[in-house]
Amino acid sequence: MDSLKRARVIKSEIEKNISVLTPEDKKVSTRRNDDEDPENVAIKSLRQEQKWSWNEIVDHLNQERLNKGEAAIFTETAVYSRYVRNTPRIATSIGEIGFDPKDYMHLRNPNKYTQAQGTGVISKAGKKRIKDYDNATELKANVRQPVTAELQDKGLEEVEKTEQLMKAVAKCERNFWKYVADEMERATTKMYDPEELASRFHAI
């Protein structure tokens, strides 16, 4: 199946469940359970078993996404939120007894702790770099550049870009309530379950 046909198949699947705001009893969910999501499982494994730092996990997951032609969307905050929200479910689903995510969190700022305090974490962070706002070249390198008008018009008509667009829309649809949960955490500093947020939304 060529890229354009795959794009049309993806589009067809999206259109069957076009509105993420439709009450659950009026649509058939195609979203994968959080405890079955490969990225959530990887986050738990890398943090719990391999003792990776949040930054190392971010780099790994983003590279995996780039290798698959997907956007590198992970940040340390996003990874941390997923870890706290989903690892207890994953542990339950595989029959892991006595799992407590707090044993592996070490909070968001491991630099504040030492091995003597029991975290077992040694920060690899170097001296904080101060951005030079008077350096136009540096600023340009750190600002995302929009594509030109010509590429906007012609680039999206390419078969590969069309398929990537459909995949992006499908992924956003599947993860909509996770994005809402992340936004709620930024706004309230509280981590809410995506399903509970959806339930509350539909109850209003």
pTM for this predicted structure = 0.37
The residue type at 194: P
- When pLDDT is averaged across residues 107-134 and rounded to a whole number, the result is 45
135-169 residue pLDDT tens? 555 555 555 567 677 666 666 777 777 778 888 88
**From the CB of residue 136, how many other CB atoms can be counted at a distance below 10 Å?**
9
For residue 25, what pLDDT band results from cuts at 50, 70 and 90? low
Torsion sign, CA atoms 14, 17, 19, 21: negative
Long-range contacts of 83-86 (CB under 8 A, 24+ apart): 83/43, 83/44, 83/47, 84/191, 85/34, 85/181, 85/191, 85/193, 86/34, 86/35, 86/37, 86/40, 86/43, 86/44
Rounded to the nearest angstrom, the gap between the alpha carbon of residue 38 and the centroid of all alpha carbons in its chain is 11
For residue 98, what pLDDT band results from cuts at 50, 70 and 90? low
Helices 54-67 and 38-48, axial angle in degrees (round to 10): 150
In the chain, % of residues over pLDDT 70: 56
What is the 8-class DSSP label of residue 111? G
41-60 residue pLDDT tens? 898 889 888 889 989 999 99
- When pLDDT is averaged across residues 64-90 and rounded to a whole number, the result is 84
For residue 62, what pLDDT band results from cuts at 50, 70 and 90? very high
**From the CB of residue 88, how many other CB atoms can be counted at a distance below 10 Å?**
16
Give the pLDDT score at 117.
40
pLDDT of 113 > 50? The answer is: no
Give the pLDDT score at 125.
44
